[in-house]
Amino acid sequence: MDDYEYNQHIEAIGTNRSTDDDSRDDDDDYEDDDASFDDDRYHPEDVDDDDDEHVDDDNDDDEVGVVPSSRVGEGVGAREIRQHLLAIFVAIFAAVIAHSRMHGGFDSWTEELARDWSTFRRRRRADGGGKAGMSSTAGSTTPSPNHRRVERPKYAAPSMDAIPVERRGMILDRALRDLSTGGEEEEEGDVGDVSSIGGGGHALARDFRRTRGLNFCTPPHPSSSSSSSSSSSSTSSSSLSNAVAGSRSDDAEVENDHNRHHLTSMEFILPLDPSVRVLNYHYLADALGIDDVSAIVMRGEYDGMLDEIDAIIEEGGIAMNDMSTLILLEERIESILDAHLPPKPTSSSSSHYPRVGRRQHVCLLRQYALNCPTGRSIRGLTMVYDRPHVSTYYRGRNDDVPSYSSLSTPSSSSMDDALSVISRGRVKPNYKVSPASLSFTGYAAKFINLSVNPVNLYWDGGRVPTGPNAGEMRTVLVGTIRGMGTIGTSTFPGHTFHVTPTYDRDHVLQRWTITGDEPVLYHDPLSDMSAVERIRAIDGWTRDGKWTEVTRFERDAWIVDRSFGRDYLVKTGRAWLANFPQPYLATTTTTTNAEPDRGGDDGDGVDVPSFSSGSGTKAPDGHRMHMWRADYIGQTHDVITSSLYYNSLPERLERLTGDDYHPEVEKERLAKMRQFQSSSLKEKKITGDNGDDATMRLTLSVLSCAPRVLEAKKFLSPVEVQHLIDLASGAKGGVIMKRSTVSATNVDAGDGTGSGRKAKGSEADVRSSTGGWIHREQDAIVDTIFRRIADLLNIDERLMRDIVRDRPGNDDSGEDEWLPTHDRIVEAMQLLRYKPGEEYAPHHDFTHPSITNRYQPKRYATVLLYLTGEGDVIENGVRRSPASLSKKTGSVEARKESGLQGGETTFPRAITTNRHDGIKVKPQSGNAIIFYNVLPDGNMDDLSQHSGGKVDKGVKYVANVWVWDPIVN
Ligand SMILES: O=C(O)CCC(=O)C(=O)O
Ligand SMILES: [Fe+2]
């Protein structure tokens, strides 16, 4: 009996029983939660928790009621079935072992899940779902995809040796080129041409493709390859790319780009099935320009395509071991693609696909065709971030001498530290130093629900730290995770979490004790089941209408993601917290300003931004936003901005509307506002004739390399600071401050927004400040601050506002109309007020997008503006610095004492050679810091964890600005 027949049997068993246990509607509480991403964040780690409470895991229940495996098959024919099962399991087990020896890239768990899909596919075909020739009778002579595992032609697995040497070089060359260009060769003016933002929407965002940067044009089984992903060599470039590196002159630039971002190639191995299915959908989504991959899944493009490839294999006419037939195979794959895809791209979003994207798609399918009969895996290459060693964090420009000039104005404690470490001569670039051990042990955990049913995730809690219930244990709802969804939270080793059905608080489905090794946790009701139980469970889901093409795809996608995550972990030592596939930061920044960096020039002279306001020449970095380099502490970057300081207030400040952003109106407004602005804090307003063109320079200094934290002093003028405080305190109305609530931001709503349900805003003591939101359109001053922030991040400010579009049906008018959209990549500014005793304990700002979203939107950067600083006091709503107060009474020092104390922003996991408690940034009025929540390879940066320290005295005002990549939609 082959496994097809076996499945028929299983199906027969499966359909005989009911799985109603699960059929009641448990989605009730899904709808009524607020689905906007915003300030509701839950961070359970913050509640003091020194208990070791460990709840036994034995309590796990399967979500889907199934017959325990020991009882399966009792009754008529049971023995026969059991024998078959046994034989098949032995065979499969042997195959899995053999395979995992061969490939070793993923474990049997993944294999099993991959088999689930094969089973499903075969069953669906048996139900008449497949398009290719089908026979419902096992052993039929009719060629059928169902039989390919038994009736396939014998191929010799193509090895590199079989490929002529010249041809080999070509393949490798092409592989490297594809990889280097992020899977596509750019057309001139095509990428980063933000001038198209006006009428065309966010062209950049639309071009963002998850398959970018993946390379499947590798020899399917390069026998000579020694670069398995498990090799932990720090000469991280794989032999594949090294083999041809430098062979082309234009590669050198790309190579340089990769070096700049510390990107290195990584080979990964994925289970053939479901990865080809999942990736095929992604390529289709790219080709068709569809945002959410699940829309493609529903179109059912995939099955037909792979069936056609199956049919080619079935024909047996292709001898895979010679080059000409390989080319023939590719041609057939091309024609299949032609048949399924529109002949010409229908939108600008698909403009890249016909080029390298399509090439990669063909290579992927070729690997599928070649490996279907003989193997179970496919190979790919991508780039990953290779974090430089801590010994490189203390240095000057490309030489061994520490750059004192770059540290000439240290003031925050971290800068002092860096300076003192260097000046004591303890640390030299080539000196073997190791990172200081950290007293903080928290990190980001990600929970993935591989069930079709939503579950509630609870933290088992700690003791209530203060208040009337102090000392009591409590359980805290982190949030609801939709079926096949995900949620993230910060946590500590030893903490325990559990999930329950949404309708039954007391029914614990699974419980985890957190360890540092496994930050990504899966709730998979199928994982401990036998094959029979699984099929029954899935039958139950199907009957309930919950096991759809989309849920199936999502589950597969998580399985592929997990497999990739293992290779990533081995290669980089970091947990994979993003969703595979995930484009990485590629290509150099397009800049128009050739001003050199000052002081800590990073050596390449290209990291100099131009100001973008108005002219729109600045391009984000490839398809991802720009990230400043942070090679060493004290490194500086110059930022030129035309968004000058407001040194006095206009009499009237009005809310801006869409019309105010119309280019002409905007120009007029900006010119009018010049009379209140200056490039210096000393002068009240700009002087001279060329006020319109005036710019000013801000300096960003690196405070921390890992995570990347940079500081800009005097980012805001005192007038602007006071304006924001007025807004925050309600003195000017418009902003309603309320007690900050927290919940998991990191929730995947399943609608591709990355903004799903969360625990209902609980007034947790983890975040005790008061907050309010202030939109860019609040007034001209706030608008200016947003523009300055865009310059600070080196991104186009127009990405931060509503875009202009033709009003539908208004095409003939030739008039652009402003339409509100959700496309902007920035959230409203969040103002926070902390009073004594208030704090915000360590957390991450990043979010977890839906697995199906082609854009993977996330908060890539945080800009934190300090409104009050150390020693500042608020008198009748007015900020006063110790210096200004000391003019009236007492010394500055004495004055400091009575003002704001504490409230440092801390990055407790910053890698340094000397600090056990991370890097601390003292609030200083007008200063800003930026930090990146993601790494250049698109993964979340777990080290970006940070806290707002407890305020000991006085009032701390800060403002958060979160910027998304690539879009907020
Ligand atoms: O208050 C601070 O220093 C940090 C605030 C913060 O991290 C946040 O609101 O997300
Ligand atoms: Fe934060």
CA nearest ligand 1 atom 2, residue: 948
As a whole number of angstroms, the distance between CA 297 and CA 159 comes to 34
DSSP-derived secondary structure letter, 747: B
Q: In this structure, are residues 385 and 261 in contact, taking their beta carbons and an 8 Å threshold?
A: yes
Atom of ligand 1 nearest to the CA of 41: 10
Ligand 1 pocket check for 840: Cβ under 6 Å: yes
Number of the ligand closest to the Cα of 771: 1
Pocket test residue of 703, 839, 864 for ligand 1, highest count of atoms within 8 A of CB: 864
CA of 905 to the centre of ligand 1 (A): 7
The distance from CA 459 to its chain's CA centroid, rounded to whole angstroms, is 24
Residue 489 pLDDT exceeds 90: yes
Would strands 817-818 and 804-805 be described as parallel, antiparallel, or unpaired? antiparallel
Pocket test residue of 958, 961, 962, 963 for ligand 1, highest count of atoms within 8 A of CB: 958
pLDDT confidence band for 441 (50 / 70 / 90) = very high
CA nearest ligand 1 atom 9, residue: 960
Number of the ligand closest to the Cα of 38: 1
pLDDT confidence band for 231 (50 / 70 / 90) = very low
Strands (E), 228-331: 263-271
pLDDT of residue 92: 44
Number of the ligand closest to the Cα of 958: 1
- Quick one: average pLDDT of 137-166? 32
Query: DSSP secondary structure string, 482-496?
Result: -TT-EEEEEE-TT-E
Among residues 708, 968, 965, the alpha carbon closest in space to that of 860 is found at 965
In whole angstroms, how large is the CA radius of gyration of the chain?
29
CA of 782 to the centre of ligand 1 (A): 20
pLDDT confidence band for 355 (50 / 70 / 90) = confident
pLDDT of residue 79: 44
Written as one letter, the residue type at 558 is: W
3-class state of residue 337 by DSSP: helix
Pocket test residue of 490, 832, 924 for ligand 1, highest count of atoms within 8 A of CB: 832
Ligand 1 pocket check for 946: Cβ under 6 Å: yes
Residue 183 pLDDT exceeds 50: no
As a whole number of angstroms, the distance between CA 510 and CA 63 comes to 9
- Quick one: average pLDDT of 43-50? 32
As a whole number of angstroms, the distance between CA 486 and CA 509 comes to 16
Average pLDDT, the chain: 69
Two structure tokens written together for 345: 């791209």
Number of the ligand closest to the Cα of 948: 1
Query: DSSP secondary structure string, 623-636?
Result: TS-------STT-E
Asked casually if ipTM beats, i.e. exceeds, 0.90, the reply is yes
As a whole number of angstroms, the distance between CA 897 and CA 605 comes to 44
Q: According to DSSP H, which parts of 181-219 are helical?
A: 197-200, 203-207
3-class state of residue 254 by DSSP: helix
CA of 842 to the centre of ligand 1 (A): 9
As a whole number of angstroms, the distance between CA 484 and CA 455 comes to 10
From residue 659, how far is each of 668, 680, 724 by CA, in Å?
12, 30, 24
Ligand 1 pocket check for 831: Cβ under 6 Å: no
CA nearest ligand 1 atom 1, residue: 948
Strand partners, 255: none
Angle of helix 531-543 versus helix 3-14 axis, rounded to 10: 60
As a whole number of angstroms, the distance between CA 744 and CA 761 comes to 9
CA of 737 to the centre of ligand 2 (A): 18
Two structure tokens written together for 84: 């078959």
Query: DSSP secondary structure string, 553-593?
Result: HHHHHHHHHHHHHHHHHHHHSS---S-SS-----SPPB---
pLDDT of residue 690: 59
Residue 573 exposure: Cα atoms within 13 Å on the Cβ side: 9
Min mean pLDDT across 504-508, 765-769, 887-891 is at: 765-769
CA nearest ligand 1 atom 5, residue: 948
From residue 362, how far is each of 282, 316, 392, 546, 656 by CA, in Å?
13, 19, 41, 33, 49
Q: In this structure, are residues 841 and 742 in contact, taking their beta carbons and an 8 Å threshold?
A: no
CA of 933 to the centre of ligand 2 (A): 10
pLDDT of residue 744: 46
Atom of ligand 1 nearest to the CA of 904: 3
From residue 166, how far is each of 160, 161, 172, 223, 246 by CA, in Å?
11, 12, 10, 17, 17
pLDDT confidence band for 128 (50 / 70 / 90) = very low
Which residues make up the environment of ion ligand 2, defined by Cβ < 5 Å?
845
Out of 73-87, 92-106, 306-320, 648-662, give the one with best mean pLDDT: 648-662
Residue 666 pLDDT exceeds 70: yes
pTM: 0.73
Cα dihedral: 621, 622, 623, 628 (round 10)? -20
Ligand 1 pocket check for 922: Cβ under 6 Å: no
CA of 320 to the centre of ligand 1 (A): 58
Residue 631 pLDDT exceeds 60: yes
CA of 919 to the centre of ligand 2 (A): 15
Residue with the bigger pLDDT between 347 and 290: it is 290
Among residues 586, 639, 579, 580, the alpha carbon closest in space to that of 613 is found at 639
Residue 32 pLDDT exceeds 90: no
CA nearest ligand 1 atom 10, residue: 845
Written as one letter, the residue type at 463 is: R
CA nearest ligand 1 atom 6, residue: 948
Ligand 1 pocket check for 960: Cβ under 6 Å: yes
Among residues 769, 633, 714, 681, the alpha carbon closest in space to that of 929 is found at 714
Atom of ligand 1 nearest to the CA of 949: 3
Which tens digits make up the pLDDT trace of 828-873? 899 999 999 999 989 999 989 999 988 888 899 999 999 999 999 9
pLDDT of residue 252: 67
Ligand 1 pocket check for 905: Cβ under 6 Å: yes
What are phi and psi for residue 698, nearest 5 degrees? -115, 150
CA of 741 to the centre of ligand 1 (A): 13
Ligand 1 pocket check for 412: Cβ under 6 Å: no
Tell me how crowded residue 12 is: count the other CB atoms within 10 A of its CB: 11
Ligand 1 pocket check for 207: Cβ under 6 Å: no
Ligand 1 pocket check for 923: Cβ under 6 Å: no
Which sign, positive or negative, has the C-alpha torsion 520, 526, 530, 535?
negative
Provide the percentage of residues in the chain whose pLDDT is more than 70: 57
Residue with the bigger pLDDT between 346 and 552: it is 552
What are phi and psi for residue 478, nearest 5 degrees? -80, -45
Ligand 1 pocket check for 950: Cβ under 6 Å: no
